[in-house]
Amino acid sequence: MGKVKIKNLKKNFGDLEVLKDINLEVKEREVICIIGASGSGKSTLLRCINALEDASSGTIEVDGNDITRADGNINKYRQDIGMVFQQFNLFPHMTVLKNISFAPVALKLKTKEEAEETALKLLRSVDLEEKANVYPEQLSGGQQQRVAIARALAMNPDVMLFDEPTSALDPEMVGEVLNVMKQLAKDGMTMIVVTHEMGFAREVADRVIFIDEGFIVEEGPPSEIFGNPKNQRTINFLNKVL
């Protein structure tokens, strides 16, 4: 049973066709890494999955719910889809603890005490327990991104989407964020990761998807994509980045 089922997804920005015909099924506990050049449509694909971008046509089912026809239910559906952004997007006017506990409390899913307890537990899991009461601006990029992951996890999502989570980080901080993501994958989270970290994709992904010009050009286990790519465009791309 697929956790995420994308059928014939198309997305246009005006006259520009960014996604031309995407078909993709992600199984529960599967870790998918999406690779491709800038402007290939990989981030747009990710953003369509939680309707931050509206699909132009096609369907996207997450857990059986069609995101593209969510109407009034989109807020409900989004609660089960965690998202981590390139720019972290922590709320600067809230402490780290509040960043994580705010949404579950505001949406009345948890009491303040329960949400804070969960938040502390999550902070412990990303090794930032001592930062609970500071504001995001006092954290390094890597720390902020780990808090952002904890914030998404606080909603107890079924799927986690990562939109180039390490691209805005200084090189020495990439590792700490990837380690958190590796642990998450090990714990069985269903993950879709748009990334430029080929090492991570090779090590953690169950399946790697190469997107180019709005199409899925090639997909397969990392050993195949990195070890024996078949499509010439995949080969060209990998030659450039590896």
Partner 1 sequence: MSIPALIVQYWPRLLAGLALTVEITIISLILAGILGMVFGLLSVSKRKGLRAIALVYVDIVRGTPLLVQAFFIYFGIPAALGIQSDPVVSGVITLSLNAGGYLAEIVRGGIESISRGQMEAARSLGLPYGMAMRSVILPQAIRTMTPALINQCIITLKDTSLLSVIGVTELTQTGRLIIANNYQSFEVWAIVAVMYFIIIMILSKISKRIERKMSYGKSKN
Pairing of strands 16-27, 31-35: unpaired
Q: 161: helix, coil or strand?
A: strand
Question: Quick one: angle between helices 141-153 and 96-106, nearest 10?
Answer: 20
Pairing of strands 215-220, 207-212: antiparallel
Selected binder of partner 1 within 151, 165, 177, 209 (CB under 8 A): 151
Nearer to partner 1, 76 or 112 (CB): 76
Nearer to partner 1, 181 or 225 (CB): 181
Find all residues with CB under 8 Å of 113, minimum gap 6, and list them: none
Q: Note whether 90 binds partner 1 by CB under 8 A.
A: yes
Least distance to partner 1 from the beta carbon of 137, Å? 5
Nearer to partner 1, 36 or 104 (CB): 104
Nearer to partner 1, 40 or 99 (CB): 99
Least distance to partner 1 from the beta carbon of 123, Å? 16
Name the nearest CA neighbour of 208 among 220, 195, 197, 223: 220
Q: Note whether 238 binds partner 1 by CB under 8 A.
A: no
CA 48-51-52 angle, 5° bins: 90
Least distance to partner 1 from the beta carbon of 236, Å? 32
196 contacts 169 by C-beta, under 8 angstroms: no
- H helices within the chain, ranges in order? 42-49, 74-79, 96-106, 112-125, 141-153, 171-186, 198-204, 222-227, 232-241
Nearer to partner 1, 168 or 235 (CB): 168
For the segment 155-194, give every residue that binds partner 1 (CB under 8 A).
155
Q: Residue 132 has what DSSP assignment?
A: T
Selected binder of partner 1 within 3, 5, 78, 146 (CB under 8 A): 78
For the segment 94-133, give every residue that binds partner 1 (CB under 8 A).
102-103, 106-107, 133
Q: 61: helix, coil or strand?
A: strand
Name the nearest CA neighbour of 32 among 201, 169, 187, 168: 201
Q: Note whether 81 binds partner 1 by CB under 8 A.
A: yes
Least distance to partner 1 from the beta carbon of 228, Å? 36
Least distance to partner 1 from the beta carbon of 72, Å? 10
Q: Which stretch binds partner 1 (CB under 8 A): 20-28, 59-67, 87-95, 111-119?
A: 87-95
Nearer to partner 1, 122 or 216 (CB): 122
Residues of this chain that interact with partner 1 (CB under 8 A) are: 50, 52, 75-79, 81-83, 85, 87, 89-93, 102-103, 106-107, 133-135, 137-138, 148, 151-152, 155
